[in-house]
Chain A
Amino acid sequence: MTETLHNLYLGFSVALAPSVLLYAFLGCVVGTLVGVLPGIGPLAGISLLLPASFGLDATSAIVLLAGIYYGAMYGGSTTSILMRIPGEAASVMTCIDGYQMTRKGRAGPALAIAAIGSYIAGTVSVVGLMLLAPPLASFALRFGPPEYFALLTLGLLALAYMSGGSMLKSLAMAVLGLLLGMIGIDPMTGFFRFSYGLVELGDGIGVVPVAVGLFGLSEILLTAGQPTATEVKKPRLNELLPSRQEWRASLWPIGRGTLLGFFIGIIPGSAHIISSFVSYAVEKRLSKHPERFGHGAIEGVAGPESANNSATSGAFVPMLALGVPSGPIPAVMIAAMMVHGISPGPLLISQQPELFWGFIASMYVGNLVLLILNLPLVGIFVNVLRVPYPLLYPAILVFCILGVYAVNGSAVDVGIMTATGALGYGLRKFDFETAPVVLRLILAPMMEMSFRQSLAMSSGSYAIFVNRPIALVMLMVGLALLLLSIVPFLIKTVDWRQRLGVAGGQDAREKESL
């Protein structure tokens, strides 16, 4: 404990340096704006500023990008509550009761609870990250290729199990992502695979063009042609304070959302989206008056908002401790770290303590900045949405093109964004989730490499995956999840997703934008 406090002191000495503080503030402002805008989520925001971060030192760059990430999580709630427009996917559940509260003249308390819940969840989950990441990193030093392969397989099956829609369709999307990840030079033999003479594809398809295409561009394609912006209802500062009853009703949902979000965030997948669905469903199920949900229940705002912010920190645990991204955004952040010569993984915390602890401390600072920013300045942020959509979407499109081009200075990447945008448009029209495609695209090279390295280690014996206890346990858990997913197909029973009402989240996922 003393060591942790000492490390945290080191972290704060890094995070409170004026330049780092400035980048945390800048990241939070940009992130909030990004969260407010529909169609341009945290991933597109991070992609846009990724090239601008190349000139910074590693700590400032990561602090800036992380600020955008959790800033967007906060910002997304504002438009959900005031206008019923989810700025990013995780805020979809907030729309339901948040907007109903606005219609009843309680927009202020809804915004306040969303911001305070996010602050508490963000801060508490950073404690979780701080306590969990170092021991996990020490434990992961025992991991070899079979363990990594088992972990990635477990993530694949967990994602399919937790998916609110069709498990088959989720798995198909994950496999499609893995196949796209096969493009490029085979790392074991040097053969070019599926690159059709394009040298730029030698390193494979980049995560940024695919993610911006699948999430940002496809959102624009689906929503362009919409009429003008919705009316914006802005609460006054003196209307923000929740009543005593609203405080009481929100307390437990914030606590439960924080815990749920953090642990769901650790699981590889579209964490923050799933966490808000599950939190909403849990609150509805635990409520003595579930009939109030959908008609302005503050618990329906407090729980999901806390959960999605908590999941943001949870997602950093496998990224920092194992070097395994739990979603597309941590994957882009890993890419940013690698540009600065840092490889996230078990050795990061011991070899780069000032970066790790500086990052942790900057999250505390960032959460505070966001609380201060979000409430008094809410009116300024939502003004962005007064811009008519026929002007807003071309502007977002320009930022998508700019962000994708600037990462590698490659027009081929803009082409990949266009192709995956069209693919995402089609997939979302046909009720497929696109998040598994991006996640598996990122993990494909790591998964294939660990699979083939494992076989090379064992002279071709597949028993290596069951002879090593850690790998065996992870594969057994994966198998159990697979069997649990198959049960509803064999026996006519109601599984947990239907019981909790998560299966109804398809509409929400259609709004998915990273």
Chain B
Amino acid sequence: MLQSFPTMTIDRVSASILVLFSLFVIWESRQLPLGSFRQPGPAYVPILLAALLLILGVFIILMAGRARSLSSLRWSEWRHALAILLTCVFAVFAIERLGYRLTVLLALVFLVKGVEKRGWVSSLTFAFGMAFGSFYLFYTVLRVPLPQGPLGF
């Protein structure tokens, strides 16, 4: 009789990722001097920690039988989450090229108009208010340095 696969629980999946990550750290540490037991080098502690994470990951996998099943996870917010992450990635590349105000303006128009489907007037009013208002508060009043961008924005 065929033995059925163990149930895919959230702990099994997450711990497997941790195990893979720890193996990756051990692999990447090979470029650094390990040192010795008595005189640890730069790779010593990372490898020690990765090995510990590996052991913990294996234990979590072994004891994961009672955890929630993977199918019980709900991802109803994934579209919003993806849009927000894309906005953040855009900010990483744009903030120093376009400047703070233009970056925030575009990001907010995308989120409020594009994702939240608000009207153009309210989206633009909100985006302009936030971009220029926060810039005034932090840059002008609180003297926090923020990038201006090539267009002076």
What is the interface of chain A, defined by CB distance below 8 A to chain B?
49, 51-52, 55, 166, 168-169, 171-172, 175-176, 178-179, 182, 186, 188-189, 191, 193-194, 217, 220-225, 390-391, 393-395, 397-399, 401-402, 405-406, 409, 411-412, 414-415, 417-418, 421-422, 425-427, 429-432, 448, 451-452, 455-456, 459-461
Q: Which of B89-131 contact A (CB under 8 A)?
A: 89, 91-93, 95-96, 100, 104, 107-108, 111-112, 116, 118, 126, 130-131
| Chain B nearest CB, measured from A25 CB (Å) | 16
| Ranked 10 nearest A-B pairs via Cβ | A460-B38, A224-B80, A186-B42, A52-B142, A390-B116, A418-B88, A225-B80, A430-B14, A191-B42, A221-B81
Inter-chain contact A411/B130, CB cutoff 8 Å:
no
Judged by DSSP, the binding face of A is helix
Q: Which residues of B contact A194 (CB under 8 A)?
A: 25, 28, 46
- A422, B85: Cβ atoms closer than 8 Å: yes
CB-based contact A398/B108 at 8 Å = yes
Query: B40 touching A452 by the CB < 8 A rule?
Result: yes
Cβ of B23 under 8 Å from chain A: no
Query: How many angstroms from the CA of A406 to the CA of B138 in the assembled complex?
Result: 10
CB of B42 within 8 A of CB of A430, answer no
Q: Indicate whether A425 sits within 8 Å of B42 (C-beta atoms), given known contacts A398-B108, A406-B138.
A: no
Interface centre among B45, B100, B142 (most CB of A within 10 A): B45
A411 to B99, CA, bound (A): 11
B20 at interface (Cβ–Cβ under 8 A)? no
User: How far apart are B100's CB and chain A's nearest CB, in angstroms?
Assistant: 8
Q: How far does the Cβ of A84 sit from chain B's closest Cβ, in whole Å?
A: 20
Cα-based distance from A394 to B90 in the complex (angstroms):
14
Contacts of A186 in B (CB 8 A): 32, 42
B112 touches A394 (CB 8 A): yes
- Return the contact of B42 from the options A171, A175, A193, A391 (Cβ within 8 A): A193
Q: Please tell me if the beta carbons of A222 and B77 are within 8 angstroms of each other in the complex.
A: yes
Chain B nearest CB: distance from A179 CB in Å? 5
Known A-B contacts A52-B142, A401-B95; the reply to A418 vs B85 at CB < 8 A is: yes
Partner of B111, one of A51, A223, A394, A415: A394
A225 touches B77 (CB 8 A): yes
How would residues 24 to 50 of chain B score, 1 for a CB under 8 Å from any chain A CB and 0 otherwise?
A: 010010001100111111110110011
Q: Are B68 and A431 in contact (CB under 8 A)?
A: yes
Answer yes or no: B8 CB below 8 A from chain A CBs.
no
Instruction: Please measure, in the bound complex, the distance between the C-alpha atom of A189 and the C-alpha atom of B10, giving whole angstroms.
Output: 40
Residues in A with CB closer than 8 Å to B87 are: 397
Q: A417-B88, A430-B13, A455-B40 are in contact. Are A391 and B56 (CB under 8 A)?
A: no
Which residues in B have their C-beta under 8 angstroms from that of A52? 138, 142-144
Q: How far is the CA of A391 from the CA of B80 in the complex (A)?
A: 13
Partner of A171, one of B41, B56, B67, B100: B56
B88 and A217 contacting across the interface, CB-CB below 8 Å: yes
7 contacts between A and B (CB under 8 A): A172-B56, A222-B77, A399-B134, A405-B95, A406-B145, A414-B91, A414-B92
Q: How far is the CB of B57 from chain A (nearest CB, A)?
A: 7
B46:A55 contact, CB within 8 angstroms: no
Contact (A411, B92) CB under 8 Å given A391-B126, A405-B146: yes
Known: A194-B25, A394-B111, A455-B40. 7 other contacts (CB 8 A): A176-B53, A394-B107, A401-B104, A402-B138, A402-B144, A431-B11, A431-B68
Pairwise interchain contact A178-B49, C-beta atoms closer than 8 A: yes
Say yes or no: A191-B32 contact (C-beta < 8 A), given A223-B77, A414-B95: yes
Contact B145 A225 (CB under 8 A): no
Q: A residues within 8 A CB of B96?
A: 411
| Contacts A176-B53, A179-B50, A459-B38 given; does A224 touch B84 at CB 8 Å | yes
